[in-house]
Structure formats: structure tokens, C-alpha cells
Amino acid sequence: MENIEKSTVLNKIKSKIAKVHEKYENSTLSVYIQGPNKKKRPSHFGSAFILKHEEFKYIVTARHLTENVAEGDELYFLTKLGAFFSLNSVKSEDDFEIIDADIDYHVIRIENELLDIPAILCNEESVESPYDLTLSIGYPISKNKTRVDRENRKAGMTTLRLTLTEMPSNEDLLLPKFIDHFALPWEDQLDEDFQPIQSIEIQGMSGGPCLYVPFSTKDIVEDVDPFEGVKLIGLLIEKHDDFVKYVRINTILKHISSKNQTSKKFEKLRNEV
């Protein structure tokens, strides 16, 4: 890319990210909590997303968001298109649920036919270490109303950050090493000199998806499919001073598959008795 103008490269990056964002933002949810007093508006406090793995759909979010829901409270979700629904209204009849407070994720299986919301398709072949571009989507409280508007049902989606990264060797990568997590530098935008600009507060983004977006010279000189190679790689859980921490999507998928296999074994034993 040495002979290509920086502004051209940056515009191509922004264009690709915008298209990927537009496709996946409707799979991303804003998380609300409704107290026992139904006359009060529910308060926004995080993000989530719809994941499809094999034949099932799941709501995925950060466990630290849901663990403080008090008795009598109820979780609600809002899409950018205005669909507003409670968790209890879409949960699967088998009550399939995985809660992992240590890793910090919460997965709930939902009935496919009850929720006509596009899901992010995902299998256990995601990118292990994100590089090139990464895109996180969610509802930062600083950029959105903290309370849902029941009448207009409007919700603002904001891209967390845009990162152009040449992955250094492990010896040079000054980020913490995790097994079930990964970390990325805290960068949400790039200026014309490809320097990061930190302008979005992360509060409210926890629970949102992180996508790997490949980018190469081919994206600049050819008319390519902007979604080719785009993969879900993580669940955003928290921000530290200079990096953002994510749960690896492979960890979540492996736990889902393991529980599915266990459930099938129990079902088979039940049928044999």
C-alpha cells in the first residue's frame, strides 16, 4: 500500500467498516432492566447480540450485566429497528442457559420462531487472534439515551472503534495474555495519519460483539465483497486504561457445544428407559 494515498486507504477502510456495521448492527441489542414498578421506564445499562450456532439462536451478553438483576426485576432488549421484548418472552422451553461469572459471559437459548431478528452466524472456526481491522458494536451510554423511549422506540447504535493493526510478534505485543480472553488497544477511530483517536466512552458497550474485518490492497484496487472473511471473534466485557478485554467467541461456542452434547445424551437415556 506504499504507493497509495493515505486518504484513499482511510476512506476505503471507513467505507468497509460502515457496510459491515450496517449489516450487523441489527443483530446487536441494547439491554434494559425493568423494576417491579412497571410505570417507570426501564433503564439502559449494557449491550448484547443474537448468535446463531448450528440450528439454535442465542442471546449473548456479559455476565456482570445480568448478575445484579434483583428479584422482581426483568431484562428487556431493544433493537435499532425498535423491537422491544423481554427475556422471558423469547427464552426456549428447555431453559438452556450458560452462566460463567469467571469468564464473564451469559448465554440464553431463544425460540427461533419467536424472534424475527437477524443473528450473527458463527461456528468454531473463528480467528484466534484478531488483526487488520476490528469492529465492536453496541450502545454506549454517553452516545445514547439512558432510557428507552416507549413511544418512538428509537435507539442509537454507535461503532466503538476502528483499528488498523499490523500484528506484532508475541514478544513485541504489549498486551496481557489470556486463555479465554483477548485484549486489543483502546482505539476507536483513526486520523489521516493513522493515529488512534479515543473519543467514545465504553460504558454501556459491555456485552456487544467484536468482529474481525480483513483488509488488504485488494479492498482498495478492486470491487470486492465487503463481508467476505468477516467473522465474529469476541464478546466485549470491559475496558482497562489502555486496552479493551473480550471473551473469545471460541470459548463460548465450545461451552455451548459441550452442553448441547450433554443434553442430547440425557435425552437419549430418557428415551431408552
In this model, does residue 124 exceed pLDDT 90? no
User: Would you say residue 60 has pLDDT above 80?
Assistant: yes
Whole-number Cα distances in Å, 187 to 45, 115, 125: 22, 34, 26
- pLDDT tens, residue by residue, 211-222: 888 888 888 888
Q: Is the pLDDT confidence value at 102 over 90?
A: yes
Report the pLDDT value the prediction gives residue 253, as an integer from 0 to 100: 93
Whether the CB-CB separation of 12 and 220 falls below 8 Å is answered with yes
Which range in 43-47, 55-59, 188-192 is most confidently predicted, on average pLDDT?
A: 55-59
Question: Tell me: the pLDDT tens digits for 239-272?
Answer: 877 788 899 999 999 999 998 887 666 565 556 6
Rounded mean pLDDT, 92-101:
91
Cell reading at 248: 473469545
Residue with the larger pLDDT of the pair 5 and 234: 234
Grid cell locating 61 = 451478553
CATH code at position 51? 2.40.10.10
Count of domains forming the chain: 2
Residues 85 and 215 occupy one common structural domain: no
Query: How far is C-alpha 251 from the geometric centre of its chain's CA atoms?
Result: 14
Helix, strand or coil, per DSSP, at residue 138: strand
In this prediction, residue 97 has a pLDDT band, given cuts at 50, 70 and 90, of: very high
Q: Name the percent of the chain lying above pLDDT 70.
A: 70
Residue with the bigger pLDDT between 10 and 149: it is: 10
Domain presence at residue 258 = no
Average pLDDT, the chain: 77
**Residue 194 confidence class, pLDDT cut points 50, 70, 90:** low
User: Do 244 and 140 belong to one domain?
Assistant: yes
Q: Write 169-175 long-range contacts (CB < 8 A, 24+).
A: 175/243
CA distance 52 to 50: 7
CA distance 137 to 139: 7
Question: d(Cα 33, Cα 145) in Å, to the nearest integer?
Answer: 14
Per the domain annotation, does 265 fall within a domain? no
Same domain, 178 and 236: yes
Q: Which residue has the higher pLDDT, 99 or 159?
A: 99
pLDDT exceeds 50 at position 171: no
My answer on whether 221 and 193 are in the same domain is: yes
Over residues 47-69, the mean pLDDT reads: 91
Within-domain flag for 90: yes
In a domain, 260, yes or no: no
The answer to whether 238 and 244 have CB atoms below 8 angstroms apart is yes
Residues 99 and 141 in one domain: no
Cα separation, 187 vs 203, in Å, equals 15
Residue 181: closest CA among 132, 88, 89, 252: 252
Arithmetic mean of pLDDT, 160-168: 47
Full-model pTM: 0.82
270 within a domain of the structure (yes/no): no
Amino acid sitting at position 144: N
DSSP 169: P
Say yes or no to pLDDT of 166 above 50: no
Asked whether residue 22 is domain-assigned, the answer is yes
For 82: left if phi > 0, alpha if psi spans -120 to 50, otherwise beta; the answer is left
Check whether residue 89 and residue 172 sit in a common domain: no
Question: Are 64 and 135 in a shared domain?
Answer: no
The whole domain housing 17 covers: 6-26+127-251
- Domain membership flag for residue 18: yes
The tens digit of pLDDT for each residue in 19-29 reads: 888 899 889 99
Q: Residue 168 — very low, low, confident or very high, per pLDDT cuts 50/70/90?
A: very low
